[in-house]
Structure 1
Amino acid sequence: MNKTLFTTAALSSALLGVAFAGSEVDALDSSLISKEQSLFDRFSFGSYGEIHAQVGDGTDNIDPHRIVLFADFKLTDKLRFVSETELEHALRKYEGSDWTSDGVEFKLEQAYFEYSFSEEVTGYAGLYLVPVGVINQIHEPTTFYGVERPNVEKYILPTTWTELSVGASKKYDNGLQVDAVLHSGLDTRGSDGYIRGGRSNYQFEEYQQNTDSWAMTARAKYTGIAGVELAGSLQYQYDTSSSLSGQQDAILASTHGVYRKGGFQFIALANYWNIDGYSDSDTENQWGYYFEPSYAWDTAIGKVGVFGRFSQYEYFKGSQKEISEFSVGANYWLNENWVVKTDYLNADEKGKSGSNETYNFGIGWSY
């Protein structure tokens, strides 16, 4: 068994061993044969998804971006299993004079056991979303502005980022929450240093993971003041490339703040990577930040919201790319489960003349 899977399996077994200690084994046996609640009643099902269309510079496309089914199973009052399966990118692109398609990706996004040691302390083990950024863990299309997720959280963090993990979370009465996670790591493969391309790939037809890498992430999040969320994450990763000699160790620092009052919301986020061991110095430091004010109000036919977002980020994909972006747009929520979105994005890349302009349209759901 490779190093990452061995570490995860051993710690997962230890965590679940504690969870099943003593009377919890009896509780599980009793739960599985209980006549008071049927097996089906202990399942919870849901779905979210989004369909996008893009017009502008580059390739026009229509993309059923993702359709997700999630299922929770309550084994006992303290232990549950969470899973999320996803169909992605049945993309149709208009190139030349014809439409083409790249096919559909079928992947597993989450699959983990969660155990409540108490009302304050929760442990989990399995395939789990890394606790970084604003939308990596909560990313249903009804919860954020814009058709696409913010590019800073796409290329720098990189959302959606899921890893084989074992960890714990503790909540305090003053609104502080602390998370600590040991998990598998990125694999940027070769000298490219492309962070988003280094995510573990849990597609059913193709499994990809850096067998030499592991990482530790710690997060502190404070919500003790009404309308305020402050959070910071720090991650250390051992060896981000499986194909280069030596160690390409990395440190990620991420912080964000969210302020809400009435219909007004303001988000500020910043992330910074320091990656050692690459021959190209442009790979070493990759960073990004954005500011997003928005306002939403209720109408007789649903809720309407408008937003603006300014972003700057620098990442490496074959070469260094430094981009400044401005986007504006609107969301229309028919109800809490359905949203229609549109936005305009203007992006300037350093070293290139002119800017790229795109118009995006989308619908999303979550229930």
Structure 2
Amino acid sequence: MNRRFLLIGLLSFISGLPVFAQNTSEKLLASEEKLSIGGYAQIDYNQPLSSDTKNNGTLDVHRLVMMFGYRFNDRTQFVTEIEYEHVKEVFVEQAFLNYRIANWVNFRGGLLLIPMGITNEYHEPATFNGVERPNLDNKIIPTTWREIGAGFTGQLIGLDLKYQVYVVNGFKSYDGEGILRGSDAFRKGRQKGAESILTHPNLAAKVNYYGIPGLNLGLSGYFGKTQSSLYANLDETDTQAEMRADSSVVGLNLIGVDARYNHNGWQFKGQLNYGSISNTDQYNQFTGKDLGSAVFGYYLEAGYNVLQGKGSDLQLVPFVRYENYNTHQKVEGISENPSYNRDEITIGAGLWLASGAVLKADMQFLGNDAMDDYNKQLNLGIGIMF
């Protein structure tokens, strides 16, 4: 496909919002108040552009979120995040109890964000460039990915490390019919804490290194199997039923590395993810789906805050991001779909009126290996975080 913008995307290096600002849940955990309140909102305008056809734009209150934290004592806290999407849909995005065992370790249990990549944990609109989150974090991670579980989190100050490790329920792959598919891999399988089923426990973990000023490096992993309704009331002596149930699940080993660097208004950001998926041949035959046996993707983002050092709260942040992600990186028993190998460039700017209030505009060039050229889309947005 035509990749004429790639060189521009990789060489422009013109982005720079504050990289290491706390997300809302971190702010609530750090608060000394008995009851803490936070939230964020995202209001979007998306306009596809074409020289051949006229398209309606979409105006949307994409999400409106309220967050509450309650401190029972100096060790025990509760944090929850309640989200309204598109005005009419209601979700609980986080709801967890945090208990500080020692200065370096906390127990955490409830509905938890899976620590994978950057945006899944830092998904508030004032913490990322562009009107929309990176599409890699939509199709492969997939943001906002949260499940019910428990584990430990903490900070090893002497080693400049932050860690998280949780046992959680996994994606649902079958509930009367197959759920997972090639176009967006595991996205439709998120259980989101809503009457979740547990067939196989899964492990999620991440380590961040912050020992070099301005640099944050992350290594994350997720390992386990999907969940299936066919295991409910399964007679273990019924070999045929057990084989059907086994064909309705897949295994997932997903790893990720990410990096953020911020210095004198310059900011660089990158992320890479690879996932190996087992049992896809049997799963696709049983369900009629086209799930790939491997997924892969990365993005690079860079730029500069042009108002750096001007002594103002205003930040003007031009940026560029290049993404490539493939949900059919490998396949088993089916043909690769070239339209699942996407190649995208986003160029735009954000004007931060304050640290938690931003006006955004960008142009996206969206393509894949089945196309000769990019589709274009103009995005405008308002982002709030407090």
CA distance in 1, matches of 2:81, 2:59: 24
Distance 1:236 1:356, change over 3 A: same
Q: For the structure 1 residues 340 and 191, does the alpha-carbon distance in structure 2 shift closer, same or farther, using more than 3 Å as the test?
A: closer
Instruction: Render the CA deviation track for 1:193-241: whole Å, top value 9, x for unaligned.
Output: 3311111134xxxx35343242101211100110011111111122355
1:212 aligned counterpart, secondary structure: coil
2:219 paired with 1:200: no
Task: Give the direction of change, closer, same or farther, for the CA distance of 1:188–1:361 in structure 2 (3 Å limit).
Answer: farther
1:47 alignment counterpart: 39
Q: Is residue 228–residue 259 contact of structure 1 (8 Å, CA) maintained in 2?
A: yes
Taking the aligned partners of 1:64 and 1:188, their CA distance within structure 2 comes to: 30
CA deviations on 1:42-86 (whole Å, 9 max, x unpaired) are 110111111000011465201101110000000111001101101
Task: Decide whether the 8 Å contact of 1:163 with 1:183 is kept in 2.
Answer: yes
Shift of the 64–46 alpha-carbon distance from structure 1 to 2, 3 Å rule, reads: same
Q: CA deviation at 1:165?
A: 1.4
**Match of 1:322?**
341
Aligned to 2:85, which of 82, 85, 88? 88
Scaled by the length of structure 1, the TM-score of the pair is 0.80
2:124 corresponds, among 130, 140, 148, to 140
Residue of structure 2 in register with 1:113 after alignment: 97
Query: 1:241 & 1:359 partners in 2: Cα distance?
Result: 40
Shift of 1:178: 2.2
Q: Cα gap change, 1:346/1:166 in structure 2, threshold over 3 Å: closer, same or farther? A: same
Partner of residue 5, structure 2: none
The residue aligned with 1:74 is 71
How far off is 1:358 after superposition?
Answer: 0.2
Match of 2:206 in 1: 219
| Residue type of the alignment partner of 1:113 | L
Higher relative contact order (CA 8 A, sep 6+): 2
How far did 1:149 drift?
A: 0.5
Question: In structure 2, which of residues 223, 229, 232 is the aligned counterpart of residue 236 of structure 1?
Answer: 223
Structure 1 or 2: more strand by fraction: 1
Structure 2 gap segments, 5+ residues each:
1-32, 50-54, 231-243, 285-289, 329-333
Corresponding residue of 2:254: 252
- Contact residue 180 and residue 187 of structure 2 kept, 8 A: no
For the Cα contact (< 8 Å) 1:241–1:248, is it kept in 2? no
2:344–2:364 contact (8 Å) kept in structure 1: yes
Alpha-carbon distance in 2 for matches of 1:59, 1:120: 52
1:271 aligns with 2:273: yes
Q: Is the 8 A contact 2:222 2:254 kept in 1?
A: yes
5+ residue gaps, structure 1, are 1-40, 91-103
| 1:224–1:301 distance in 2 versus 1, CA, 3 Å | closer
- Give 1:257 deviation, angstroms: 1.1
- Encode CA deviations 1:24-58: one digit per residue, 9 max, x unaligned: xxxxxxxxxxxxxxxxx611011111100001146
* Equivalent in the alignment of 1:295: 304
Determine if the alignment matches structure 1 residue 185 to structure 2 residue 170: yes
- Displacement of 1:242 in angstroms is 4.6
The equivalent residue for 2:143 is 159
Q: Kindly state the Cα deviation for residue 184 of structure 1 after the two structures are TM-superposed.
A: 1.1
1:174 shift after superposition: 2.4
Please say if residues 258 and 266 of structure 1, whose CA atoms lie closer than 8 Å, have aligned partners that are also in contact. yes
Distance 1:308 1:143 in 2: 15
CA gap 1:117/1:357 in 2 versus in 1, 3 angstroms: same
Give the C-alpha shift of residue 162 in structure 1: 0.8
What is the deviation of 1:301?
Answer: 7.1
Distance of aligned partners of 1:191 and 1:73 in 2 relative to their CA distance in 1, 3 Å threshold = closer
- Structure 1 contact 133–157 (Cα < 8 Å) conserved: yes
How many residue pairs match? The answer is 310
Q: Deviation at 1:259? A: 1.2
Q: Which amino acid in 1 is paired with 2:326?
A: E
Separation in 2 of the partners of 1:199 and 1:185? 8
Change (3 A) 1:344 1:242: farther
Among 35, 59, 62, the residue aligned to 1:62:
59
Q: RMSD over aligned Cα, in angstroms?
A: 2.1
Distance 1:215 1:161 in 2: 14
> Structure 1's 287 and 59: CA in aligned 2 closer, same or farther, altered over 3 A?
farther
1:245-274 per-position Cα deviation (integer Å, ceiling 9, x unaligned): 314111001111111111111111001111
Residue 15 of structure 2 aligns with which residue? none
Task: Answer yes or no: is the 8 Å Cα contact 2:313–2:355 preserved in 1.
Answer: no
How far apart are residue 180 of structure 1 and its match?
Answer: 1.1
